[in-house]
A and B are shown apart, each in its own frame.
Chain A
Amino acid sequence: MNENGANIDLLFRNGLKDFEVLPPPDVWDGIHPAVKIKSRPIILLRVAAVVTVLLALGFLTYRWSREVPGRSAESVMAFNIPVTSPVITVPLDKPSYSPVSKLNKVNNSSSVLIESDNQAAIQNEIVPADSPDQILNIQEIKYLAITRNETINGKFLTPSNTSKGNSIKIKYPDLQYFQENIPTKPKNRWSIAAMASPTYYSSFGSGSDELSKQLAAAEQPIVSYSGGVAFSYKISKRVTIQSGLYYSSLGQKVDGINSFSGFRPYDNTKGDHNFEVPTTTGIVYTSNPDVFLSSDATNRIVTAYSSDVFDPKKASLQPVSSSLSQNLSYLELPVILRYKIVDKTIGINLIGGLSYNMLVHNTVYTTVDGNKYPIGDTKGLNPLTLSSSLGMGMEYNFSDKLSLNFEPTFRYYLNPFSVTTGSFIHPYSFGIFSGVSYKF
Chain B
Amino acid sequence: MSEIKKIIKGCLAGNRRDQELLYRRHAAKLYAVCLQYSGNDDEARDILQEGFIKIFGNLDHYKHEGSFEGWMRRITVNTALEKFRCRHNLYRVDDIDTIQEPDAEPDNQDYAGLEANDLLGIIRELPTKYRMVFNLYAIEGYSHKEIGKMVNISEGTSKSNLSRARVILQRRVGSYTGIKKKVVNE
Q: Are A and B a genuine interacting pair, yes or no?
A: yes
Q: Which residues of A contact B (CB under 8 A)?
A: 1, 4-5, 7-9, 11-13, 15-16, 18-24, 27-28, 30-32, 34-39, 266, 268-271, 302, 304-306, 309-310, 421-422
CB distance from A220 to the nearest CB of B (A): 26
Contact at A9–B166, with CB atoms within 8 Å?
yes
When chains A and B are docked, how far (Å) is the Cα of A32 from the Cα of B49?
Answer: 9
Closest to B50 in A: A302
Q: Which residues of B (12-42) have their CB < 8 Å from a CB of A?
A: 12-14, 16, 19-20, 23-24, 27-29, 31-32, 34-36, 41-42
4 new A-B contacts at CB < 8 Å, known A7-B109, A21-B120, A23-B31: A19-B29, A31-B53, A37-B12, A302-B50
Contact at B36–A16, with CB atoms within 8 Å?
yes
Contact at A12–B46, with CB atoms within 8 Å?
no
Partner of A12, one of B82, B109, B139: B139
Contact at A304–B32, with CB atoms within 8 Å?
no
Question: At the interface, yes or no: B45 with Cβ under 8 Å from chain A?
Answer: yes
Contact at B29–A18, with CB atoms within 8 Å?
yes
Contact A16 B50, CB 8 Å, known A5-B166, A8-B166, A21-B35: no
Contact at B105–A266, with CB atoms within 8 Å?
no
CB distance from A266 to the nearest CB of B (A): 7
Name the A residues within 8 Å of B42 (CB-CB).
306
Contact at A16–B45, with CB atoms within 8 Å?
no
Name the A residues within 8 Å of B13 (CB-CB).
37, 39
Partner of A32, one of B19, B29, B57, B86: B19
Q: Which residues of B (114-152) have their CB < 8 Å from a CB of A?
A: 114-117, 119-120, 123, 134, 137-139
Contact at B119–A16, with CB atoms within 8 Å?
yes
27 chain-A/chain-B pairs, Cβ below 8 angstroms:
A4-B105, A4-B166, A7-B109, A8-B138, A8-B169, A11-B114, A12-B139, A13-B139, A16-B36, A16-B116, A16-B139, A21-B35, A22-B28, A23-B27, A23-B34, A24-B45, A27-B27, A27-B45, A32-B20, A36-B57, A37-B13, A38-B60, A268-B90, A270-B85, A302-B50, A309-B87, A310-B90
Question: At the interface, yes or no: B2 with Cβ under 8 Å from chain A?
Answer: no
Name the A residues within 8 Å of B87 (CB-CB).
304, 309
For A12, A13, A36, A305, which residue has the most chain B Cβ atoms within 10 angstroms? A12
Say what secondary structure dominates the interface of chain A.
loop
When chains A and B are docked, how far (Å) is the Cα of A268 from the Cα of B32?
Answer: 29
Closest to A380 in B: B57
When chains A and B are docked, how far (Å) is the Cα of A133 from the Cα of B27?
Answer: 87
Q: Which residues of B contact A (CB under 8 A)?
A: 12-14, 16, 19-20, 23-24, 27-29, 31-32, 34-36, 41-42, 45-46, 48-50, 52-53, 56-57, 60, 82-83, 85-87, 89-91, 105, 109, 111, 114-117, 119-120, 123, 134, 137-139, 162-163, 166, 169-170, 173
Contact at A23–B28, with CB atoms within 8 Å?
yes
When chains A and B are docked, how far (Å) is the Cα of A135 from the Cα of B12?
Answer: 71
Closest to B82 in A: A271
Partner of B16, one of A15, A19, A422: A422
CB distance from A252 to the nearest CB of B (A): 22
Partner of A305, one of B20, B45, B53, B90: B90
Name the A residues within 8 Å of B105 (CB-CB).
1, 4
Closest to B89 in A: A268
When chains A and B are docked, how far (Å) is the Cα of A231 from the Cα of B39?
Answer: 64
Contact at A28–B119, with CB atoms within 8 Å?
no
Name the B residues within 8 Å of A268 (CB-CB).
89-90
CB distance from B160 to the nearest CB of A (A): 13
CB distance from A351 to the nearest CB of B (A): 32
Name the A residues within 8 Å of B138 (CB-CB).
8-9, 12-13
Partner of A16, one of B49, B86, B91, B120: B120
Contact A12 B169, CB 8 Å, known A23-B31, A39-B13, A271-B86: yes
When chains A and B are docked, how far (Å) is the Cα of A421 from the Cα of B17?
Answer: 11
Contact at B53–A34, with CB atoms within 8 Å?
yes
When chains A and B are docked, how far (Å) is the Cα of A383 from the Cα of B149?
Answer: 36
When chains A and B are docked, how far (Å) is the Cα of A309 from the Cα of B86?
Answer: 11
Closest to A31 in B: B52
Name the B residues within 8 Å of A12 (CB-CB).
119, 123, 134, 138-139, 169
Contact at A19–B89, with CB atoms within 8 Å?
no
When chains A and B are docked, how far (Å) is the Cα of A268 from the Cα of B85?
Answer: 9
CB distance from B39 to the nearest CB of A (A): 11
Contact at B166–A35, with CB atoms within 8 Å?
no
Contact at A19–B120, with CB atoms within 8 Å?
yes
CB distance from B85 to the nearest CB of A (A): 7
Contact A269 B90, CB 8 Å, known A30-B49, A31-B23: yes
Contact at B14–A37, with CB atoms within 8 Å?
yes
Name the A residues within 8 Å of B14 (CB-CB).
37, 39, 421
Closest to A422 in B: B16
CB distance from B72 to the nearest CB of A (A): 13
Contact at A4–B170, with CB atoms within 8 Å?
yes
Name the B residues within 8 Å of A37 (CB-CB).
12-14
Contact at A28–B20, with CB atoms within 8 Å?
yes
Closest to A24 in B: B45
